[in-house]
Amino acid sequence: MSLEQTPGELMIQTLARFSQIETTALTLSLRGETTLTPEQDARFVEASEKIAQLTTQLRLHGRDRAGGTIEHVIASAIRSRFDAVFVDHLGMIGRGTGEKFGVLEHAVDRLRGLARGEALAGYMPFVCALSPLNRQAERQAGDKPPMPTMADFAGSSQIESDADAAMILRKRRQSEGYTGPDVIDCWVLKNRQGRSGCVLPFEGRGATCTITELVTDREESNA
């Protein structure tokens, strides 16, 4: 899903996922432009009943909605007991204050406390925060960007100490004339739960994709 979608679009996508009916077919049916097969109709009813049992609340915060500080986000999460809190992105916190990194460290500390039940006893939501990266080393490297490190995070010292897991995503540079799909490389730089393999299917822009963990040459040499 994308937060750019309307509530109606989110609902259609949820119905499509639960019913395993193509989004286009489902949309046309809801518009009355086509009809579902009896089998699809039965799956649609089952999916609708399942969704009706869910309690879903999505709240967006921004400066235009009096949610420009991390304290507003924390207070809202505590009040509504959200299961998950996503911050996109940490680089926007403290912008224009002249104390960007000080504000960033405070935000990371507060998010860690929220995830570990320090903000409210017994309430420990999943917290995910996107962070800006230091692009200087990548720009200097030209066509062969170096392997990422924790130092690539802006305000890396606080992120390194407080995060339970830290990952860097980077779009792979392809040769001129390449017409294949985009490839996003992901490096897990920190995981307090230990190493674990991951093969994760997901959907994006109508395409089904997979995230597959690869073994690096360095890991093979140390095996």
Cβ proximity of 63 and 72 under 8 Å? no
Based on the structure, what is the number of domains in the chain?
Answer: 1
Longest dimension (CA), the chain: 62
Looking only at the bridges linking them, the beta strands covering 126-129 and 184-191 are unpaired
Residue whose entry in the numeric block shows the structure tokens 């996107």? 130
Note the pLDDT of residue 123.
93
Residue 220 confidence (pLDDT) above 80:
no
Is the pTM higher than 0.75?
no
Q: At what angle do helices 7-19 and 38-52 cross, to 10 degrees?
A: 120
Note the pLDDT of residue 143.
63
Residue 182 confidence (pLDDT) above 90:
no
Please indicate, yes or no, if residue 196 is contained in any of the structural domains. no
In degrees and rounded to multiples of 5, residue 154 shows phi and psi of -70, 130
Residue 66 — very low, low, confident or very high, per pLDDT cuts 50/70/90? very low
CA distances 64 to 53, 71, 100, Å, are: 32, 15, 20
- pLDDT digit string, tens, across residues 123-133: 999 998 888 77
Please indicate, yes or no, if residue 192 is contained in any of the structural domains. no
Q: What is the DSSP letter of 64?
A: G
Mean pLDDT computed over 18-46: 91
Q: How many CA atoms lie within 13 A of 168 on its CB side?
A: 22
Mean pLDDT computed over 129-147: 70
Please indicate, yes or no, if residue 38 is contained in any of the structural domains. yes
| Closest among 209, 210, 216, 208 to 189, alpha carbons compared | 216
Please indicate, yes or no, if residue 43 is contained in any of the structural domains. yes
CA distances 3 to 61, 127, 182, Å, are: 11, 17, 22
Residue 166 — very low, low, confident or very high, per pLDDT cuts 50/70/90? confident
Residue-number span of the structural domain to which 41 is assigned: 7-52
